[in-house]
Amino acid sequence: MNRHPSSRTRKVCIILAALFTGLLASGRLAGQAPTLTLVKAGHLIDPRTGKALSPAAVLIESGKIKEVGPPERIQPPAGAKTIDLGNATLLPGLIDSHTHLLVDPIGPAEVEWARHYNGAFLPGLLLAIVESPSKRVLMGAQAAREDLESGITTVRNLGHSGIDGDTELRDAINAGRVVGPRILASGRKLITRSDYVQNLNPALADAILEQEFLLIDGTDRARQAVRQNEFQNVDVIKVAADENLTVPELGAVIEEAHRKHLKVAVHAVDKTSIQTSIDAGADSIEHGNEATDAQLKQMHDKGIFFDFTPTSYGDFFTKIFDGTIAMSLKLRPERRGSDERTRQRYNDLAQQLLKGAEFPDASDESRDRVYDSLVQRVMKSGVKFAAGSDMGWFYPGKTRGEASISRFPTLHKAGMPSLDVIRAITTNAAEMLGWQDRIGAVEPGKFADLVAVSGDPLADISELERVRFVMKDGPAVRNELGPR
């Protein structure tokens, strides 16, 4: 065997060595000088304390916050880029801790809703399941970009993404191929067979379900479902609990997930499912509409997060159905009357609560729960809480980001102080996700995720719906306030 390289091979090696040396000399492989950006604004709100630094400056180095303080104290090196936002108010990048980027069903026509047992959401969900995965990911990419442009720099995507749609979208964003927020992806949602989609064609039912869900049927299958999601490299496990899910089954899911250092978020609306989630040791309970005071105390004692999802508060569904002409002239005034009665019921029950009345049982009103009372009871209990939009709907006239952000100020309408609303989608959400060392506050060492609004969101929480500056990882994604 000839062990000596040929003349041609030696030439190729020499050329490659020269190219490598040139790259080293240019700094591309040797390590470029860190990029420095100074962001200045009239005010910076610290969600933890509620205090504002006025004026404020944030020095950013290579995508992370290096220093925060008054402008006169921070002197950036020569050549640093400066973004002056004038008298704007800076906040940490917002976190949507419960969303569904890869689905956006259109409100079905009234006759469709009335004639199909699966209800309002599921005709659209079924259409999503039978669409091609590539189409869903592209739609999800658009929704992700629109979320980011509205100030949401991190999302936790909790299902309805096909087998690997959200993990692939996450990886594409992380690689810089697609613009969007950081994504904690859950992969397929774990459900019992009786949950979500019923009355499917028996010959196709399992094939359809497997495109969207993993079934829990006993403890062994519960563990297997977690492992299947682990294979897709998920960041979190999502379970939909109904009255058929047992504590041993959910406990097996949680034990298996925790072995892999994955948190478990459990969709639980009714009292039975909430208790199952508490007893099994869930990390967060999503929705929690019917939580009793005793259950909130148990959650507090166990350190379980309550994740508000005020999607249907107020007239949200009336507006999306109205915008798609999905209601008859007869149903439209009925819907609007229902909205008004719901608002009045919120107000009445809030007053009852303040007078010491017990929270009434209204289990037949799963979507129109009394959020005023629920919000105040959660806050009174001391349980840790965050908030997510639960957005998975097409909202005519709004981008996905605008629709998502519009859900958070409703918590203020339900009685939550503006500062606590901001905490729910910044510092509190970061802790619930287990990312408090990376996001949720404007502090040294954290990612350079910033948003800015023109006014004071503590005085007017609706300012969150008018974000005018967005930064993720250092570069400005949106800037309507100052020089780029």
User: Does residue 168 surpass a pLDDT of 60?
Assistant: yes
pTM for this predicted structure? 0.86
> Is residue 17 assigned to a domain?
no
Note whether 309 and 397 are same-domain residues.
yes
Sign of the alpha-carbon torsion through 83, 88, 93, 99: negative
Instruction: Count up the domains in the chain and report the number.
Output: 2
**Alpha-carbon distance 8 to 290, whole Å?**
76
Note whether 211 and 274 are same-domain residues.
yes
> Is residue 155 assigned to a domain?
yes
* Helices and strands in the chain: count of H runs, count of E runs: 17, 20
Peptide bond connecting 108 to the previous residue in cis, omega within 30 degrees of 0: no
Q: What is the reported pLDDT for 327?
A: 60
Note whether 169 and 56 are same-domain residues.
no
Q: Which helix (H) or strand (E) holds 32?
A: none
Q: What is the reported pLDDT for 335?
A: 62
> Is residue 5 assigned to a domain?
no
Section 241-259 average pLDDT: 97
Mapped onto helix, strand or coil, the DSSP state of residue 266 is strand
Note whether 102 and 46 are same-domain residues.
no
Note whether 140 and 157 are same-domain residues.
yes
> Is residue 178 assigned to a domain?
yes
Q: What is the reported pLDDT for 336?
A: 62
Q: What is the reported pLDDT for 459?
A: 98
> Is residue 20 assigned to a domain?
no
Length of the chain: 484
Average confidence score pLDDT of the chain: 86
> Is residue 140 assigned to a domain?
yes
CATH number at residue 104: 3.20.20.140
Section 110-120 average pLDDT: 65
DSSP secondary structure, 427-465, as one string: HHHHHHHT-TTTSSS--TTSB--EEEESS-TTT-GGGGG
Note whether 56 and 123 are same-domain residues.
no
The predicted-structure confidence for 34-89, as pLDDT tens digits, reads as follows 789 999 999 999 999 999 999 999 999 999 999 999 999 998 888 899 999 999 99
Which of 120-134, 300-314, 418-432 is predicted most confidently? 418-432
> Is residue 48 assigned to a domain?
yes
Domain limits for position 68: 30-92+441-484
Tell me the percentage of the chain whose pLDDT exceeds 70.
81
Structural contact between residues 160 and 212, judged by C-beta atoms closer than 8 angstroms: yes
The predicted-structure confidence for 213-239, as pLDDT tens digits, reads as follows 999 999 999 999 999 999 999 999 999
**Alpha-carbon distance 212 to 120, whole Å?**
18
Note whether 462 and 350 are same-domain residues.
no
User: Does residue 27 surpass a pLDDT of 60?
Assistant: no
> Is residue 2 assigned to a domain?
no
Note whether 267 and 218 are same-domain residues.
yes
Alpha carbon of 345 to those of 354, 361, 365, 368: distances in Å? 14, 13, 12, 10
Binned at pLDDT 50, 70 and 90, residue 330 comes out as: low
Sheet of strand 182-185, all strands in order from the earlier edge strand to the far edge: 94-99, 152-157, 182-185
- Rounded to the nearest 10°, the torsion over CA 444, 445, 449, 450 is 0
Q: Quick one: tokens of 14?
A: 């020499």
CATH number at residue 83: 2.30.40.10
- The neighbouring-strand residues paired with 69 are 57
Note whether 51 and 175 are same-domain residues.
no
Note whether 227 and 85 are same-domain residues.
no
Note whether 362 and 452 are same-domain residues.
no
User: Does residue 438 surpass a pLDDT of 50?
Assistant: yes
Q: What is the reported pLDDT for 120?
A: 58
Note whether 196 and 298 are same-domain residues.
yes
Q: Please, what is the end-to-end C-alpha distance for the chain in angstroms?
A: 62
